[in-house]
Structure 1
C-alpha cells in the first residue's frame, strides 16, 4: 500500500497567538448562531488548525480527532492533494451556473459513478446531504406518482423540510411541516423492539413489521423507502444478515423506490467506497435504486452532496422537466475537491487503510475495552465507523446517565481527544487516514478515560 500522505504528523505552527483564539471565541459568542443548541450556555471549543487526524487550538494544545468533526473528514484535515485541487480550480474558474457544462463537474460525476457501480448513470449535485435526500425523495415521488416516504425512527436525514420530517429522532418533532412521512422501526438487536433473541430473529421480525406498515399505509401510496444503509448518528446500527435484502425484496414486490442514504457511511467510512458494497462482502449484495451522498466524498472541504441515479429513473426526465435545482449545484470548487479527494483515496489506499484499521485494530481493541469495563454494553461497527453503547447496568442495558456521559467527554478532552457522542453512545470514528500509532494512542486514551468513571 502506498504510504498515506498524513502518516508523518506535523506539530502545530509555532506562531499561534492565544489572543487570536480569544478573539475567535468572543466574535463567535457575539455574532454566531449555533445549530441544535440553546445559545446562552454555549462555550464552543476554538480550533486553530489541523492536519490528518489531529487538530489544535491557539494555545498549541493538540487533540486526536476521533470525531472526524461530524463524521465527514474521511481523508483527514488539510490533505495536500485536496487543497491543491481547490487552489488549481480557483485559478481556472471559481463558479459557473449549473446550466453550463463544466469539465470538473463531469469528471467528478464520472469518478463517483465508477465507484457506485454499473447500475448507475447520472449524478445530481446538491449543496449537502439534506438536500440530496430532499431531491432523492422528489425523484421517487415523480417516478412513481405516489406521495408517502417510509423511513426509520432511528435515523437522521438532514435539517431541510422533508429531510427532517423523514428523520426519526427528536429533531423531527418540532419540525414536522412536510407531509406524507411515515416511520417504522428498523432492526437493533441490542435494544430490540421485537423481543428477538438472535440477529436472524431480529431481521425476520423487523421485515415483517415493515411489510405490515407498507400494507397498512397502502402500498400504492408509497413512493420510497429511505434508509441509512448503516444508521449513523442513531448508533452505527449495522443491519443483521438478510435485512437489506429483505427490504430490497419488499420494495420490488410493492413497486417502491429504495433509497440508501450514504451521507455518513459512504466513501471509505466502512472500509469500502459505499456501505452497501462493504455489507455485500459478508451478506447478500443489495443495490438500491437511488444513493444519496455528501460528507466523505470530499471530506467537507467544500459543501457538496448529491444523488446517484440509475438509467431507469434518469430517463423519465429525458422529455419531462425535473422540477428541482440549486444555484450552486456542481460548484466548480466542490467538484475539484471531489476529484482531488477520490483520486488521493484511490492512489494512497485510504479506503483499504480504513478496512484494515477496522478489522485489525479497532475491532479487537474496542472489544478488549468492553471486556474490561462493564459500562460498555455493546461494541458495533466496521471500518472506521464504530459505536460503544454505554450502560449503567449491563444486565438491564439501562443507558448511562447524561451526567456520566458528560464526565467521560470532559475526561477525553482533557486527555487530548476530540470525541463524538450521541445520547449514551461514544462513536469511534477517526479519519480513514488514521495511523496504527494514532489508533493505539486513541485506545489508550479511551482506557484511561473509562478507568476514571465512578460507576
Structure 2
C-alpha cells in the first residue's frame, strides 16, 4: 500500500465521512461500506468479510475485479504515455476505436470518446439536434441516461424529479413492460403492438418535424431490466425512418456482452444512428465512454466543426484498458459465456426461486442481466417497496444477503442479478443459493 493512502479501514472510513460528499445520498443518513481489496468475482469489506459481487459495482466490472490483462495494459501504457491532449493521435485510442467498431452494428464506424455514459448521451443528443435541425428528444419513463443536466432530464425515473424544469426539450412516453403494462396487454405481442401504437401517437401529437431523436436503453438497466418484446426495437427503427428522427441506442449498461450479445440491439437486429457506451467497454477500470456514429451523422460534420469536446477524450490509460478488455472478451469468448450463463444458470435458477417464494412476482432478463421483482401480493402485484424508495423488508433481505456473503444490487422493489460476465457457473449458483436462503430467512409477515 502506498504511504499516501491509509491502509487501515477505520481510518479510511473516518476520512470518508469527514471529507467525501456522496452522490444520490442524504449525507447524514449513510453508512458506506469500506472495500479493502477485490479479485475476480469477490471483494472484501473493511471487517475482512469476503462478498460475492452480484452487482459488478454499478454494472461495469464485466471482466471482474483486478483482471491481470487489464491491470498489465494500464501499467504498460502508464510507462510510455500516461496522458495526452485529445487533438493528438495516440495508439491506444486508435486501437480502441478499431476494436469497438469491429463489434458495433453495421455502419457505426466512427467513435467519439467521452469520460462516461452521461456525457456520451449528452453528446449523442447534441449531434442529433445539429444533424436534424430539430430540438425535441423522446425517451421512456422507467429509464436512466445519466446524471448531467441534459441526461438527467432525458431520464425517466425518480432521480429526474428534483432536477427537471421542463425546459430541456425532452418528452417521455411509455415503453413496453408487460408485467406492469400501461396498455392492458396480456401477451408480449399485444404489448409490442400497443407500445408502438402509443409511440406513434406521441410522435404525431408532438409534431414529427420537431423531434430530433428517440433515445432508448436497448434493455433498460437500473429502471428494471425490462427486455423489450421481439420486434419492438425494429418498430422504433421504422418509426424513426418514417419521420426523419434519429434513433439513439443507449448501450451504456447493456453493451459489451452484458445481455449475451456484444450489444443488446442485436437481439432485434437493429442498427441505430448513434450508439452510446461506457461501463463494460473497459470494465470500468479507468473512466471511459463514447458515441458510435453512423456515416450519415458523421457526414454532417465533415466540413462543419462539431462544437463539443472533452479534456480527457480518448485518455490513453482508459483506452489501453479498453483494448485489453475487448481482446480478452474475444479470446476468452466472454460474450458467449454470458449468454450460456443466462440460458443454463440464471434463467432456470431464478425461475426455481420464483416457484419457492411467493413474493417473487416476476423474473426477467438475458445473459448476465436479470431482475427479480418482489411483491407483497402476487395477485395485486403490489411492490415490496414503493416506486422511488426502499422499505424495511427490502432492507432486511439485503442485510441477510450481506451476512451470508453476497453483495446484492437493489433498486426499489427489485434485486438485480448482474455479476461479472466472467463469473463461473459454480459461483453463480452459490450466489443464487444465498439469495434463496435470504428470501427464506425474512418473513413475509414483515412485508
TM range (shorter): over 0.9
- 1:300 corresponds to which residue? 284
Query: 1:150-189 residue pairs with structure 2 within 5 A?
Result: 150-177=138-165, 179-189=168-178
Give the Cα–Cα distance (whole angstroms) in 2 for the partners of residues 179 and 128 of structure 1: 21
Matched, 1:263 2:255: no
Q: Does the 8 Å contact 1:128/1:303 carry over to 2?
A: yes
1:351 Cα offset (Å): 1.3
- 2:329 corresponds to which residue? 345
1:315 Cα offset (Å): 1.2
Q: Normalising to structure 1: TM-score of the pair?
A: 0.94
Moved over 3 A (4+): none
Give the Cα–Cα distance (whole angstroms) in 1 for the partners of residues 248 and 341 of structure 2: 29
The 1:18–1:135 alpha-carbon spacing in structure 2 relative to 1, beyond 3 Å, is closer
Q: Does the 8 Å contact 1:375/1:392 carry over to 2?
A: yes
Matched, 1:220 2:214: no
Q: 1:325 aligns with which of 304, 309, 332?
A: 309
- 1:195 corresponds to which residue? 184
Q: 1:335 aligns with which of 319, 340, 356?
A: 319
Matched, 1:286 2:270: yes
Give the Cα–Cα distance (whole angstroms) in 1 for the partners of residues 8 and 322 of structure 2: 31
Matched, 1:372 2:356: yes
String of CA shifts for 1:108-137, please: whole Å, max 9, x gaps.
000000010331120000000000000000
The size of the alignment, in residue pairs, is 435
Give the Cα–Cα distance (whole angstroms) in 2 for the partners of residues 257 and 117 of structure 1: 15
Give the Cα–Cα distance (whole angstroms) in 2 for the partners of residues 443 and 133 of structure 1: 34
Give the Cα–Cα distance (whole angstroms) in 1 for the partners of residues 233 and 45 of structure 2: 43
Give the Cα–Cα distance (whole angstroms) in 2 for the partners of residues 431 and 262 of structure 1: 17
Q: Does the 8 Å contact 1:18/1:58 carry over to 2?
A: no
Give the Cα–Cα distance (whole angstroms) in 2 for the partners of residues 448 and 22 of structure 1: 31
1:348 Cα offset (Å): 1.2
Matched, 1:415 2:367: no
1:365 Cα offset (Å): 0.4
String of CA shifts for 1:148-179, please: whole Å, max 9, x gaps.
00000110000011100000111111112552
Matched, 1:34 2:22: yes
- 1:144 corresponds to which residue? 132
Give the Cα–Cα distance (whole angstroms) in 1 for the partners of residues 319 and 429 of structure 2: 35
1:19 Cα offset (Å): 7.3
Give the Cα–Cα distance (whole angstroms) in 1 for the partners of residues 273 and 344 of structure 2: 33
Matched, 1:359 2:343: yes
Give the Cα–Cα distance (whole angstroms) in 2 for the partners of residues 176 and 332 of structure 1: 35
Secondary structure of the residue aligned to 1:339 is: helix
Give the Cα–Cα distance (whole angstroms) in 2 for the partners of residues 118 and 260 of structure 1: 14
Secondary structure of the residue aligned to 2:43 is: strand
The 1:58–1:406 alpha-carbon spacing in structure 2 relative to 1, beyond 3 Å, is closer
Secondary structure of the residue aligned to 2:214 is: strand
Q: Normalising to structure 2: TM-score of the pair?
A: 0.96
In structure 2, stretches of 5+ residues that fail to align are 386-390
Q: 2:426 aligns with which of 418, 433, 437?
A: 437
String of CA shifts for 1:22-57, please: whole Å, max 9, x gaps.
011101100000000000011000001111110012
1:18 Cα offset (Å): 11
In structure 1, stretches of 5+ residues that fail to align are 1-12
Query: 1:9-24 residue pairs with structure 2 within 5 A?
Result: 20-24=8-12
Secondary structure of the residue aligned to 2:153 is: helix
- 2:109 corresponds to which residue? 121
- 2:76 corresponds to which residue? 88
String of CA shifts for 1:413-445, please: whole Å, max 9, x gaps.
111111000100000001000001101211110
The 1:42–1:272 alpha-carbon spacing in structure 2 relative to 1, beyond 3 Å, is same
- 2:442 corresponds to which residue? 453
String of CA shifts for 1:354-386, please: whole Å, max 9, x gaps.
111111111000000001101110100000000
1:406 Cα offset (Å): 0.7
